[in-house]
């Protein structure tokens, strides 16, 4: 058995710079790896993908999981158990991180191949801190920046596909994005509860931002006294973590 770490990725800013004819979005963003990570136990004699999920959010198993697609890409077979500590639908690249861990285990692939599994996979295969451009296939490493981060994880996820569809609908209706994350308003349109909790968190903690397409929110630094900011209608998990260099 081999145990692989699959670090979450945090998107510090995300600008959408265009849309290709095939519908994919061009972006420019800064991503960094986090100490928060899934763990993959790999049995090289097996042939399965199973998930031990720590969240009440569905995660596909078997052939529908990105790990199975990554194994197919590198033409390998293995039994993999994923200990899921990164929330699905949280904007932290959990599925992409898992797929990238398999790619690294198999020796790595070209970013143009990795991006076929998802826009975050090329970055997750490299890790650390980087400028990410194109549809995710252009990854330019940046100097490591050691920072503590506090994550606010609600009890709902947001589909990345739904978020980009909402972006297109808003854009085509005349809206234009602003701020450090061009997906924040679309994410709030998909899941109005996100907008409500953002208001509460910003009143308490200042510069709270949405991580990628959400639903996770974050603030840089350590929050030790967060109390009850959501009320009885929503649970909010608070996780303190740190940025990590490539290979950590």
- Catalytic residue list: 9, 120
Q: Of 238, 239, 34, whose CA–CA distance to 146 is shortest? A: 34
Tokens of 177: 């994005």
**H/E stretch holding 69:** helix 66-73
Task: State how far the Cα of 23 lies from the Cα of 152, in Å rounded to an integer.
Answer: 31
The answer to whether the CB of 41 falls within 8 A of the CB of 80 is: yes
Q: Give how far Cα 74 sits from Cα of 65, 67, 107, Å.
A: 15, 11, 9
Q: Of 245, 35, 235, 15, whose CA–CA distance to 150 is shortest? A: 35
Q: Percent helix, strand, coil in the chain (nearest 5)?
A: 30, 35, 40
Task: Give the count of alpha carbons within 13 A of 166, CB side only.
Answer: 19
Tokens of 90: 């949280």
Task: State how far the Cα of 88 lies from the Cα of 152, in Å rounded to an integer.
Answer: 14
């Amino acid at each position: 058995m081999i145990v692989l770490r699959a670090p979450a990725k945090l998107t510090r800013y995300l600008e959408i710079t265009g849309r290709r004819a095939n519908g994919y979005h061009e972006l420019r963003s800064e991503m960094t790896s986090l100490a928060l990570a899934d763990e993959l136990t790999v049995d090289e004699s097996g042939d399965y993908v199973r998930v031990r999920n720590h969240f009440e959010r569905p995660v596909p198993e078997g052939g529908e999981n990105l790990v199975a697609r990554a194994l197919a890409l590198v033409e390998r077979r293995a039994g993999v158990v994923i200990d899921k500590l990164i929330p699905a639908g949280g904007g932290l690249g959990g599925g992409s991180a898992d797929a990238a861990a398999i790619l690294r285990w198999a020796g790595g692939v070209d970013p143009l191949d990795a991006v076929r599994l998802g826009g975050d996979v090329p970055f997750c295969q490299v890790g650390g801190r980087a400028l990410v451009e194109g549809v995710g296939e252009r990854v330019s490493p940046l100097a490591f920046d050691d920072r503590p981060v506090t994550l606010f994880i609600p009890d709902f996820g947001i589909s990345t596909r739904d978020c980009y569809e909402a972006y297109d609908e808003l854009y085509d209706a005349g809206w234009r994005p602003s701020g450090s994350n061009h997906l924040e308003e679309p994410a709030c349109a998909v899941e109005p509860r996100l907008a409500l909790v953002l208001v509460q968190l910003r009143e308490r903690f200042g510069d709270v931002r949405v991580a990628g397409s959400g639903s996770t929110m974050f603030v840089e630094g350590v929050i030790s006294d967060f109390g009850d900011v959501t009320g009885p209608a929503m649970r909010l998990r608070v996780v303190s973590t740190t940025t990590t260099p490539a290979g950590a």
